[in-house]
Amino acid sequence: MRKQPVSSQVQVEDASMTLVESAYWQIRRHVIEGVLLPGEQLRVEHVKDKYGVGAGTLREALTLLVADALVVAEGRKGFRVAPISVEDLEDVTENRVRLETEALRQSIQHGNDVWESNVVAAFHRLSLVEQAPDKRGGVADVDAYEERNRIFHETLLAACPSHWLLYFTSILYCQSERYRRLALAKSPLRRNVHAEHTALVKAALNRDADKACALLTDHIRVMSEAIRLLPGKLFGKQSSRAPAGGAKKATGKDRETVRKAR
């Protein structure tokens, strides 16, 4: 069966969702959006009531999030929201550049007219929220922006034939979104993102893979650098008991649990 990127999966909580899936998506969203802060301890006896599930169900959901590198397992201590760090941000950024540019190159090579029309449509929808700033100079609707930005980037890569490449790019994009949302909550990022997206779309539709990949590389790295320059505001806002160095790597057992659940 073709593996579907995590961020592309339907995230609507409905009757067909299991309790584990529902808890997984709710907690995942709260970690990415910063509702649950980096380093925050997730005591099962407290968190289960917040999400309306039993202890066993919650542990299963948190185990899935460990494999996503959004939650850290601490043995008998339970679970904790994955901490953040400059080093982790740089690691995520460089690996995102490596994988996403390769996926974009393949997508440009294999994309057809349907792919082109989807890229144009996704860019148009993103442009509508990018050009509606708030009083601080940032986007007025961060949730709408993040959703449409994710769809835009996924659409650019959608014609890439490697489902594994798309799967791992989606994992890294999720990590980037978490850092970006935490940063945007503190201060708007002063750059013309719309101009960057416009140039990227033009290069992709012109089938200029080298230029598109160069633009995407700059786009990803500039965002990372803007976030990195906010250490006092961003990286200090996590539990004082949070382990250093970013998220703990998932074990083979964790990954196997995720594969079975999806």
Taking only the tens of pLDDT, the chain with its 262 residues reads 334 444 444 444 454 578 999 999 999 999 998 899 999 999 998 899 999 999 999 999 999 999 999 999 998 889 999 999 999 999 999 999 999 999 999 999 999 999 999 999 999 999 999 887 665 556 668 889 899 999 999 999 999 999 999 999 999 999 999 998 888 777 766 778 999 999 999 999 999 999 999 999 999 999 888 888 765 656 655 544 344 344 444 444 444 443 443 3
| Chain region(s) in the chain for CATH 1.20.120.530 | 86-234
The answer to whether the CB of 77 falls within 8 A of the CB of 116 is no
- For residue 229, the model assigns a pLDDT of 76
Which of 140, 184, 67, 158 lies closest to 104, judged by CA? Answer: 158
Rg (CA), the chain: 18
Longest dimension (CA), the chain: 55
Cα dihedral across residues 61, 63, 67, 73: positive or negative:
positive
Rounded Cα distance, 248 and 45, in Å: 23
Return the CATH number of the domain spanning residue range 6-83+247-261.
1.10.10.10
Rounded Cα distance, 161 and 143, in Å: 29
Rounded Cα distance, 200 and 120, in Å: 11
Task: List helix spans (H) across the chain.
Answer: 19-32, 44-51, 55-67, 86-110, 113-130, 142-157, 163-186, 193-205, 209-228, 252-261
- For residue 181, the model assigns a pLDDT of 87
On whether the 86-234 domain is CATH 1.20.120.530, my answer is yes
- For residue 134, the model assigns a pLDDT of 62
| Chain region(s) in the chain for CATH 1.10.10.10 | 6-83+247-261
Rounded Cα distance, 47 and 51, in Å: 7
- For residue 8, the model assigns a pLDDT of 41
Q: Which long-range contacts (CB under 8 A, 24 or more apart) does 173-176 make?
A: 173/7, 173/96, 173/100, 174/6, 174/7, 174/32, 174/68, 174/70, 175/69, 175/92, 175/96, 175/247, 176/92, 176/93, 176/96, 176/220, 176/223, 176/224
Token code pair at residue 173: 């994009």
